[in-house]
């Protein structure tokens, strides 16, 4: 009888342990600081995905369809590039001319034969990450924020452009890891959202889409004699 009682107790303990394992609450997913650093985290900002060799006019059409407008001055969105989502700004400047600015800019062009002109020199695609780090480490301004502008022939290989963008992103993340530790005195993976917001404000990366040839200049105002002064 005593043995039977002990067996019942052990059986009950085993079942209880088994149930506790099955109902164990999974650990909270770690905060993805890389994703937070790269994307626009406004919940109202849409995310678009399109071929990396798409011309600006195709991107503008995507935005026009989304906004149900024929034209826009400026529009912010996230662009899905491989495993990344990166904050972007597109501009048609239909109603107002572009404001004067002098941003730090990293630019590249790819021709129809996939030749690469990167930051004012010809390089091979496998050199992009190293050249991006050189660019980032030689920015002389206190704030290291910069924009990416690129022009790609529609006949080029979209996968090559995508890989170039991914290499620039990875170089930026490497650079940011070092710079964050230097400025905040702690590893970037321990950063709070407030820290990252402050860091992005000073040292963020932004892809910009516009076509200078297609900028629409607003018409001049009508002569004073044609203005209705009744109101």
Mean pLDDT by 10 residues, the chain (231 residues): 43 44 53 94 96 92 91 92 96 75 90 94 96 96 94 93 97 97 96 95 95 49 41 28
Residue 223 falls inside a structural domain:
no
By DSSP bridging, strand 105-110 and strand 116-118 are antiparallel
Residue 14 falls inside a structural domain:
no
Residue 59 falls inside a structural domain:
yes
Residue 10 falls inside a structural domain:
no
Q: How many domains does the chain have?
A: 1
E-strand ranges in 42-180 read: 47-48, 74-81, 84-91, 105-110, 116-118, 121-122, 146-152
Residue 208 falls inside a structural domain:
yes
Residue 26 falls inside a structural domain:
no
Q: How wide is the angle at C-alpha 51 spanned by C-alphas 208 and 215, nearest 5°?
A: 40
Pair of tokens at residue 89:
């700004």
Q: Is 37 exposed, middle or buried (0-12, 13-18, 19+ CB in 10 A)?
A: buried
Which pLDDT does position 124 carry in this prediction? 95
Handedness of CA 5, 6, 9, 14 (dihedral sign): negative
pTM of the predicted model as reported, rounded to 2 decimal places: 0.79
Boundaries of domain holding 144: 33-214
DSSP state of 78: E
Q: How far apart are CA 122 and CA 115, in angstroms?
A: 8
Q: How far apart are CA 231 and CA 228, in angstroms?
A: 7
Residue 24 falls inside a structural domain:
no
Which pLDDT does position 29 carry in this prediction? 65
- 204 by DSSP, 3-state: which? coil
Which pLDDT does position 93 carry in this prediction? 79
Residue 58 falls inside a structural domain:
yes
| Nearest C-alpha neighbor of 49 from the set 82, 89, 75 | 82
Q: How many CA atoms lie within 13 A of 19 on its CB side?
A: 6
- 150 by DSSP, 3-state: which? strand
């Amino acid at each position: 009888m005593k043995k039977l009682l002990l067996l019942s107790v052990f059986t009950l303990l085993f079942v209880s342990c088994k149930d506790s394992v099955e109902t164990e609450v999974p650990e909270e997913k770690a905060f993805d600081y890389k994703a937070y650093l790269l994307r626009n985290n406004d919940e109202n900002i849409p995310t678009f995905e399109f071929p990396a060799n798409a011309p600006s006019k195709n991107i503008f059409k995507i935005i026009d369809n989304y906004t149900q407008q024929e034209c826009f001055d400026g529009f912010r969105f996230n662009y899905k590039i491989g495993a990344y989502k990166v904050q972007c700004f597109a501009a048609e400047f239909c109603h107002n001319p572009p404001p004067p600015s002098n941003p730090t800019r990293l630019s590249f062009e790819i021709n129809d034969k996939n030749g690469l002109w990167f930051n004012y020199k010809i390089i091979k695609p496998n050199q992009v990450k190293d050249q991006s780090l050189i660019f980032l480490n030689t920015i002389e301004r206190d704030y290291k924020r910069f924009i990416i502008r690129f022009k790609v022939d529609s006949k080029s290989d979209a996968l090559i452009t995508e890989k170039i963008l991914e290499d620039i992103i990875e170089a930026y993340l490497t650079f940011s890891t070092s710079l964050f530790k230097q400025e905040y005195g702690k590893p970037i993976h321990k950063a709070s959202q407030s820290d990252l917001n402050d860091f992005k404000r000073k040292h963020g990366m932004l892809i910009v889409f516009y076509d200078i040839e297609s900028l629409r200049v607003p018409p001049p105002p009508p002569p004073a004699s044609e203005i209705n002064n009744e109101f």
